[in-house]
Structure 1
């Protein structure tokens, strides 16, 4: 991992303001989630604009230019349009003519799935620049029912990115894993707008183009999957949770995720929690937390970092990294 970067829209909405707008006590959202603020994209901003902002910062951190990139993989649930891929929009905005580009539709696990694609490409590609931009981005504010506290209280807009490239042994990615359970696709979804339920006056009237979430089912999934991901990743790598320098999870509810650290065998300070001022930014949540850790704490050569993603689909995945020399 050569460099990371993130981009948040300028507008902030405080949880206190949002709680009052929904007829709740001022501290209701923050007390239950730990979220203080979330960012909201401007009227002229699309997912590709946020993604390009994060990508530029990751490239700057890596000391590279868009011409050095051979592939762009972008995870999102809120693309600019149904087609073409938002990754192609980003390629054009950045000016990265040598980069192939595609989207990954794995919801909040999109960044981890994107890393898997990046590693596979790096292992087989010849003749292209040997660097990949992996991006997570969401503009959830366009897909929220503001009267639904289960979703409106949690979601925000933002983007984060990382530049991936070759690393000398024993550094780099030590293990990866992915999984899915499509029987639970209905737990979190935007039900209208696709080929099954195309847009119509009826779907607009019924708010079918907004996020629908079974909050109880999703909470149960998080409580189960995060400790399991940590256990599976450490078992695969032959290490113990205590050997991990950092665990960087997706954090749809920062307070809930932080409460699972002890159950997963982690000591205070091992888990990176960075969602307090952004909320759940989906595929950008995990790389945003990673970027914050890099820029505030710093990650040293040889430190072992676990990325743990999970989200709608249902999907989940992990990436274990032995931090390479020369990274920011």
Structure 2
């Protein structure tokens, strides 16, 4: 992609649920709060009852537009990444967010690839700007509001789920925070990991006397690996190895290498995983977003861009720095990396 067509981020906005201390609330979610404490999180965010993902997404978008000194009428494309259970079935959250913003006939696109939705969403913006001369300015919104009716936010996948949204305004050819390249890989062997058994078309209604939460999604993980610790450890190693592979692939496509990386912004995972990821990619832990992850919790598809913006606001990134936004997502399982130049 030519420099003139590359999208760059000109402004951002965020919206979060109310901060909650893990130590004060873990006992309400799990029988062993100390086990949750060992994940390393100090805080997560939870929306008030009645606040929806649409509300949070629209709030972040309004802040981003204000920071960019733009109106919704100035936006040529709206892309939404939604990483948890939607408010309704047979319904498009991207259109609902556009309506909340008063967008009129602006085209919208929705990505639902769990906590990796940020990566294909950002790629779509880049592709639209490369292919359509009429797409000059885009609004990318990423939101996660955990459905506690479907799963336990503290006992699901080794993270503590958190409610938050981030929106960024991108402009074709803008020279700061520009997207250079991306890479991804999928291992379909893990398609059923962490699936929620009830609510889809296969089993739309839980058995009598049960609820959506009565079957722990971790059961599907134990089933897949036959409760074999060695197989599960091999999976954990594959997780970090494949992440390093997509980082290297994105770097190669941009004509860069790991030695040039200023920072790796990974999903807001637990601290043990952060240490493994940092070691595999070859960066010190302090050049990742591990500290921010402890304070934010896992905001699904919003993690990478929320943390990127916080690094910028705190002065931890300088003009010209090379940043790898990276993550893994299950179900899938998928690994993604997108390179940005500050």
Place the TM-score, normalised by the shorter chain, in its bin: 0.7 to 0.9
Asked if 1:112 is matched to 2:119, the reply is yes
SS at match of 1:231: helix
Contact 1:193/1:209, CA 8 A, preserved across alignment? no
CA separation of 1:93/1:303 partners in 2, compared to 1, >3 Å: closer, same or farther?
Answer: same
Residue matched to 2:71: 65
> In structure 2, which of residues 139, 143, 148 is the aligned counterpart of residue 137 of structure 1?
143
Measured at CA, do residues 225 and 61 of structure 1 come closer, stay the same or move farther in structure 2, by a change above 3 Å? Answer: farther
Residue 110 of structure 2 aligns to a residue whose secondary structure is: strand
Contact persistence 2:274–2:285 (CA under 8 A): no
Q: Aligned with 1:149: secondary structure?
A: coil
Kindly provide the CA deviation profile for residues 307-326 of structure 1, in whole angstroms up to 9, marking residues without a partner as x.
11320221222111222xxx
Q: Which one of 195, 199, 202 corresponds to residue 193 of structure 1?
A: 199
TM-score by length of 2: 0.83
Cα distance in 2 between the residues matched to 1:220 and 1:197: 33
Which residue of the partner structure matches residue 172 of structure 1?
Answer: 178
TM-score after normalising by structure 1: 0.86
* Closer, same or farther: CA 210–159 of 1 in aligned 2, 3 Å: farther
- Deviation, 1:169, is 6.9
Distance 2:314 2:175 in 1: 26
Q: Match of 1:154, SS?
A: coil
What are the ranges of 5 or more consecutive residues in structure 1 without an aligned counterpart?
324-328
C-alpha distance after superposition, 1:262-311 (max 9, x if no partner): 32111353212321122111111122211211222254332212111320
Q: Distance in 2 between matches of 1:203 and 1:161?
A: 41
After superposition, the CA RMSD in angstroms is 2.7
The CA deviation at 1:14 is 2.0
Q: Where do 4+ consecutive residues of structure 1 move more than 6 Å?
A: none
Alignment: residue pair count: 318
1:275 maps to 2:293: yes
Residues 1:318 and 1:38: Cα distance change in structure 2 (over 3 Å): same
Residue by residue over 1:137-176, the C-alpha shift from the partner in whole angstroms, topping out at 9 and shown as x without a partner, is: 1111434544973459621211112222112579722211
Separation in structure 1 between the aligned mates of residue 176 and residue 71 of structure 2, nearest angstrom = 27
Deviation at 1:112, TM superposition (A): 0.8
Aligned pairs for 1:80-119 (under 5 A) are: 80-119=87-126
Gaps of 5+ in 2: 1-8, 223-231
Give 1:198-237 correspondences, 5 Å limit.
198=204, 200-202=205-207, 205-207=210-212, 212-213=217-218, 214=221, 216=232, 219-237=236-254
Q: How many Å apart are 1:121 and its aligned residue?
A: 0.9
